[in-house]
Amino acid sequence: MSSAVVPPGTSRPGSRPSKLPSLTGLRFFAALLVFFFHSSLSNSPVPPNGPVNPFADDSLARVYARTFVSTGYMGVSFFFVLSGFVLAWSARPGERVTAFWRRRMTKIFPNHLVVAAAVTVLFAGAAVTGVSEWLPNLLLIHTFFPQASINLSLNPPSWSLGSELLFYLLFPLLIVPIRRLRGGALWAWSAVMVAGTVAVQLVSTYLVPDTPKSAITPVSDAQFWFGYLFPPGRLFEFVLGALLARIVLTRRWPRRIGVRLSLVLVAAGYGATYFVPFQYTFVTATVVPIGLLIASVADGDARSRGGWLSSRPMVWLGEVSFGFYLVQGVTIFYLRSLLGSEPFSTPVAVAVVVLFFAASLLAGWLLYRFVEMPAMRRFARARRLAPPAATPAPAAVPVRRTVSAAAPDGERELT
């Protein structure tokens, strides 16, 4: 989820910038969408499952919850498409698979383990039961299990890292055929990926048991797991992002699809979430506008047309957005439990939301500054072996210059 370097050989020197700073800045707004979703929940997903939405005024509480009812789904989908886009953009031909995996594991595991430890301590073990529930979470394989006690165990926002882990493991295989696609095939396969998001929800609706019903969603726990949490079902977004990156890199992105039009379509897609069946709010209603926005912003950077999103404050916010997202299970759910279960008057409730935001941003920066960056510096690349100690040079002896028959093109050698 970091700014990406253009792969060698994809463009002429100097024809495009080496990074995508505007996409880094845009990343923060996706994390912000998830923040508002989490802070508007009626119940915390972490025991003791008290209320989160701080507004005592019923009408304001409903408006707050209704306004951000699907922004969490939208923000996560943005991250998955962006992940595919950035990895395809920065893919290094000839790079060793183990080197790629090393960097990506270093990116996610240190932050994940630190936040999991914080959840265990702060919630006094209430979020931890048996080893069969917390161990899959630590290994980031928990979303392969349909049981809610496993796939949302410990730190609930970490569920998305299970999908990211699958993306990272498969990417070296996926990028090979994606690089071979040309022209219309890139667009055709992009359409196939969008259709795949529909297929996932069709399977969830008609083939996955719809009982027992979930306590917090209109579908069953099994349907929510398969349609939203199950990592293979999220591959379509990831591959879509990789395909869009290839379209932009090969200069096939239509200029008429700019940032403004994409933002209008994102708003329309979010509006559609209020009318489509619940399962289609997870991905399908918004994935096309999200893909268009990511590609159009990247195309602007590639054409050296970065705006305020590429400013230093926005890039900083984008850099800490991973930590900002990951700590929300602590900063929102834990702080809300400390404040008690009672809602607050409107001014106090607004102050509580501001408190949630400030605590999340601070904790996200601390993760970035003191966990993520030191880990990346220390472990992202294998250490080079120290060169052997220099030995004293032998005493100079006279040499005579000849032409060696073995030297190509009559190159002069010392003999």
**CA distance linking residue 205 with residue 283, whole number of Å:** 14
Q: At what angle do helices 184-206 and 235-249 cross, to 10 degrees?
A: 170
Q: Pick from 389, 413, 320: which is nearest to 360 by CA?
A: 320
Q: Which tokens sit at 159?
A: 């569920």
> Which residue's structure tokens are 């609930």?
156
Sign of CA dihedral 184, 190, 195, 199: positive
Predicted local distance difference test score (pLDDT) of residue 415: 20
Q: What is the DSSP string of 57-78?
A: SHHHHHHHHHHTTTHHHHHHHH
Q: Pick from 255, 248, 321, 262: which is nearest to 292 by CA?
A: 262
CA dihedral 65, 145, 104, 283 (to 10 degrees): -40
Q: What is the pLDDT of residues 306-355, one digit of tens each?
A: 789 999 999 999 999 999 999 998 999 999 989 988 999 999 999 999 99
| Mean pLDDT over the full length of the chain | 88
Q: At what angle do helices 287-302 and 235-249 cross, to 10 degrees?
A: 30
Phi/psi of residue 414, nearest 5 degrees: -90, 130
Q: Which residue has the higher pLDDT, 126 or 7?
A: 126
133: Cβ–Cβ under 8 A, 6 or more apart, which residues? 149, 150, 153
Q: Which amino acid is at 92?
A: R
187 has a pLDDT exceeding 90:
yes
Q: What is the pLDDT of residues 74-99, one digit of tens each?
A: 999 999 999 999 999 999 888 899 99
Phi/psi of residue 94, nearest 5 degrees: 85, -5
Q: Which tokens sit at 299?
A: 């195309």
Q: What is the pLDDT of residues 263-279, one digit of tens each?
A: 999 999 999 999 999 99
pLDDT above 70 coverage of the chain, percent? 87
**CA distance linking residue 153 with residue 145, whole number of Å:** 11
> Do the Cβ atoms of 184 and 353 come closer than 8 Å?
no
228: Cβ–Cβ under 8 A, 6 or more apart, which residues? 73, 282
**CA distance linking residue 221 with residue 227, whole number of Å:** 10
Confidence grade of residue 392 (pLDDT, cut at 50, 70, 90): low
Averaged pLDDT, 234-250: 97
397 has a pLDDT exceeding 90:
no
Q: What is the pLDDT of residues 66-80, one digit of tens each?
A: 999 999 999 999 999
